[in-house]
Chains A and B, each alone.
Chain A
Amino acid sequence: MYGGIQITQTGAVDCCITARPNCSLSRSGKILVLASFFLILSVTAGVFAMMGAWPILPFAGLEMLAVLLAFYQVSCHERDYERITIEGNTLVLERRDNVRVMRSEYNRCWAQVVLQCRSVGQQCRVALRSHGAEQELGRHLNDEQRTELAHQLERRLGCQ
């Protein structure tokens, strides 16, 4: 799936910006990785258990559980996205986080972009600010893409 920011221009000044995470692991890849862990861990822990060293088994089980949980988390967030639609004087921020879909509306004239970087170009945070409240943006993006997102938004905000 395409990751990063995608900009669809819907008019001279109106547009739609979508940010998605990169998900490079395929379904079969996931199964392969999990199966290989399961195989390695069960064989080694099993052989040691047969030699009488059974306390390795519960640790192997716990770890397998942790790996499963991690992969489950990853699958849950595969379809996450953030979408900003700017039309006329409204800006709509729509974000999907696992099963939750959140939507908020802003006035294009009043919304501001905030970009903060801890050191120049590094560890940047982008947020949309209006009425003293902030919504963080670009959680699926890296620093340069966040900077780019802030830049793009900035160009499109303000009263038209």
Chain B
Amino acid sequence: MDATHAHDHGHDHHPSGLMRWVKTTNHKDIGTLYLWFALIMFFFAGSLAMMIRAELFEPGMQFVHPEFFNQLTTMHGLIMIFGVIMPAFTGFANWQVPLMIGAPDMAFPRMNNWSFWLLPVAAIFLIGEFFLPGGAVAGGWTMYPPLFIQGGVSYDLTIFAVHIMGASSIMGSINIITTILNMRAPGMTMMKMPMFVWTWLITAYLLIATMPVLAGAVTMLLTDRHFGTHFFNAAGGGDPVMFQHIFWFFGHPEVYILILPAFGIISQIIPTFARKPLFGYASMVYATGSIAILSFIVWGHHMFTVGMPAAGQLFFMYSTMLIAVPTGVKVFNWVATMWKGSMTFETPMLFAVAFVCLFTMGGFSGLVLAITPVDIQLQDTYYVVAHFHYVLVSGALFSIFAGAYYWLPKWTGHMYDEKLGKLHFWLSVISMNILFFPMHFLGLAGMPRRVPDYALQFTQFNQIASIGGFIFGASQLIFLIVVLKAVRGGAKATDKVWEGAEGLEWTVPSPAPYHTFETAPMVK
């Protein structure tokens, strides 16, 4: 990806080499940084998951100590959420939002640089914990007290890291919101914005609305730990259940922060490969908005067993079920877009179709868990693990893959290796089901989550899951190879990489010969 140009008569004033990346304020550079960061973290958090699956291959303790096992599950969850899915989506936003709305850059380029560079700092804190006496945090990604009040120094580091990542998210969200609202090209009204831009606008809203709640919650943990307050410390009259309310008031909208941009990516890809405009654009926008609003009133479904009045349980049950309605609208629209379209199945489309099918399954198991009496049986079992991995792996992660394949030619100027892409897809989608589908049965049969050892009758399904897990893990190396190959070369990509693609980003050159444009483009 080397530089410059026929018209460069003199010296280059860009910082080059490493400093170029450290100092960059360009949305594309920062998007690239976010994406590489997410990919690296993905392999790190993924290797933690491989250790988890290795230990769970057989009953009994084989490879790790129970305490270390808890560190693995906690860190895997924390890093996958805050270090992989969220940064990857932010990377997409940085790259695509300005391109899609015709803006020169993000609204605050320097702040953009800061929001990225806070992330590696937080990651170093988190990963560094493994080398501290007592090891990393082992209290679960949900950080419940009293465990989180009692732990060692790594718990403080985690709180610190969460603060830093929160600050990064807030700066990123403010940037995205002001960019989308104020920098749209002439003619691009709100209802003409691509769906990806819409979903990110709403996601940034959610982030701004919930981040202070998370920051407050972990701050209270910190003061309970060190400054003698008793917000959550029952020994001093505090209320640990209040932490759960506060955490999930943030935590449930957070899971939508992890899926709304995915909806956006899929809504760009399906119309492209079905060669039809998105069915029901306006209803897609309203459905996304309703999901965001509803996500604030359902947090109690994570706490059905803490002792809640029946009226509260009913409220949370019905409000949770209500979310299935706008979600159903979205799934319907995706299917209707494909209906009678002239579809082709390049890798991005394969991942998008898999998304629609498998995410729907995750939604259905969510509906099952929403039924209070059922949840009382299933909570803290592997059924919950199956549910959220169907929405997060075949939902959020697959959409990231879909988007990466979709835009890689635009980003690098080179086509990716379609054969390897398809191989990556098929191995991922098959092994992902081998990995997570048996977890439904394990949960229904009563195997608890977050345990390093289990009763004999769970052995077979765990072995199937572990084998699926290892295949899934290994398959992701193919993705790394595909990306590296596309970055380093390959067939030249055209401006409009995909035949059916629509939108401003495809009028921008992928490899641009100089002097292409005689007149500046305008949105019709």
Q: Which residues of A contact B (CB under 8 A)?
A: 2-5, 21-25, 29, 33, 37, 40-41, 44-45, 48, 51-53, 55-57, 59-60, 62-63, 66-67, 70-71, 73-74, 112-123, 125, 127, 129, 134, 138-148, 150-151, 154
Closest CB pairs A-B (n = 5) = A121-B512, A56-B216, A59-B212, A25-B182, A121-B509
Q: Does B12 sit at the interface, judged by CB under 8 A?
A: yes
Within 8 A of A (CB), among B460-480: none
Query: Contact at B12–A116, with CB atoms within 8 Å?
Result: yes
Across the interface, name the chain A residue whose C-beta is closest to B12: A116
Give A44 to B216 CA distance when docked, in angstroms. Answer: 12
Q: Does B456 contact A (CB under 8 A)?
A: no
Among candidates A62, A114, A148, residue contacting B519 with C-beta atoms closer than 8 Å? A148
Kindly state whether residue B213 has any CB partner on chain A within 8 Å. yes
B170 touches A144 (CB 8 A): no
Query: Interface SS of chain B: helix, strand, loop or mixed?
Result: loop
A-B contact list, 7 entries, CB within 8 Å:
A4-B186, A33-B177, A40-B209, A45-B212, A59-B215, A59-B219, A117-B5
Residues of B within 8 A of A (CB): 1-5, 7-10, 12-14, 26, 28-29, 98, 102-105, 107-108, 170-171, 174-175, 177-178, 181-186, 188, 208-209, 211-213, 215-217, 219-220, 223, 231, 239, 242, 245-246, 249, 413, 507-522
Q: In the complex, how many angstroms separate the beta carbon of A16 from the nearest chain B beta carbon? A: 16
- Among B105, B209, B216, B239, max chain A CB count under 10 A is at B216
| Distance between Cα atoms of A2 and B107 in the complex (Å) | 17
Q: Looking across the interface, which residue of chain B has its beta carbon closest to that of A134?
A: B13
Residue of A nearest to B27 (CB): A123
A41 — which chain B residues lie within 8 A by C-beta? 208-209, 212
CA distance A52 to B242 in the complex (A): 9
* In contact, A119 and B26 (Cβ under 8 angstroms): no
Question: Knowing A24-B182, A24-B184, A115-B5 touch, does A120 contact B511 (C-beta < 8 A)?
Answer: yes
User: B188 near A51 (CB under 8 angstroms)?
Assistant: no
- Within the complex, what minimum Cβ distance (angstroms) separates B328 from chain A? 26
In the bound assembly, the distance between CA atoms of A139 and B109 in angstroms comes to 11
For B246, give the chain A residue with the smallest CB separation.
Answer: A53
Q: Are B242 and A121 in touch, CB under 8 angstroms? A: no
Judging by beta carbons under 8 Å apart, are A44 and B5 in contact? no
Interface residue from B3, B104, B413 paired with A145 (Cβ < 8 Å) = B104
Give chain B residues whose Cβ lies under 8 Å from the Cβ of A121: 508-513, 516
Q: How far is the CB of B434 from the nearest CB of chain A, in Å?
A: 40
A146: B residues at CB distance < 8 A = 104
Q: A142-B102, A148-B519 are in contact. Are A114 and B8 (CB under 8 A)?
A: yes
Contacts of A114 in B (CB 8 A): 7-10
A48, A138, A140, most chain B CB atoms within 10 A: A48
Set B186, B213, B513: member contacting A56, Cβ < 8 A: B213
Residue on A with the closest CB to B109? A139
Do residues B10 and A22 form an inter-chain contact, with CB atoms below 8 A? no
Q: How far is the CA of A116 from the CA of B105 in the complex (A)?
A: 17
- Rounded to whole angstroms, the CA-CA distance of A90 and B106 in the bound complex is 34
Q: How far is A157 from B491 in the complex, measured between Cα atoms in Å?
A: 37
Q: Which residues of B contact A123 (CB under 8 A)?
A: 26, 28-29
Chain A residues with Cβ below 8 Å from B513 are: 120-121
Find out whether the CB atom of B219 lies under 8 angstroms from the CB atom of A55: yes
- Cβ-closest chain A residue relative to B171: A66
Contact B8 A116 (CB under 8 A): yes
The complex places the Cα of A134 from the Cα of B220 at a distance, in Å, of 52
